[in-house]
Amino acid sequence: MDHSVSDLAREVGRERSQVSRMLKALERGGLVEQAPESKRYRLGWSLLVLATGAGDIPLPRAARPVLQTLVSRVGEVALLSVQQGNRSLTVLREESHQSLRAGGWVGRSSPMHCTASGRALLFDSADELVEALTAEDC
């Protein structure tokens, strides 16, 4: 659910300017994100990744059995990644007992074009969007 700065200021009993500054700081840390079209704020994926370990987030909960089935069929690690601006953020990892573990990717983000999951997220995007999202080097 998206919220305006004014709505949040009213809710927490603070001045709008204070809340705006706090939201900008939280946005820099990836904990909230601002929708470009509406300028309203929502929880960011980085916060949702942290919450996944402690709670019940719908996307990872729904994806876990799918990833487990995939891992059992192909014998490799499976990742669930989401697009976060021009980066790919891994939110869930399902291990395989057959593969060599190179490190944890959950909670890490990478430029979209520098990882297999990021390239998969770009697969059916328009050329202009791909160019805009891949301007950053690996």
Do 36 and 96 have their domain in common?
A: no
pLDDT at 43: 82
Q: What is the pLDDT of residues 41-88, one digit of tens each?
A: 988 877 776 666 555 677 778 888 999 999 999 888 888 888 777 777
pLDDT at 66: 92
Do 8 and 73 have their domain in common?
A: no
**Between these two residues, 22 and 113, which has the higher pLDDT value?**
22
pTM: 0.48
Most confident range (mean pLDDT) of 14-23, 86-95, 105-114 is 14-23
Indicate whether 60 belongs to any domain. Answer: yes
Domain that holds residue 12: 1-43
Indicate whether 72 belongs to any domain. Answer: yes
Q: CB neighbours of 137 closer than 8 A, spacing ≥ 6?
A: 111
**Strands (DSSP E) found in the chain:** 32-34, 41-43, 78-84, 87-94, 109-111
Residue 111 bridge partners (DSSP) = 87
The number of C-alpha atoms within 13 Å of 109 and in the hemisphere containing its C-beta is 18
- Reply yes or no on whether the pLDDT at 138 is more than 70: no
Task: Give the helix/strand (H/E) hosting 19.
Answer: helix 16-28
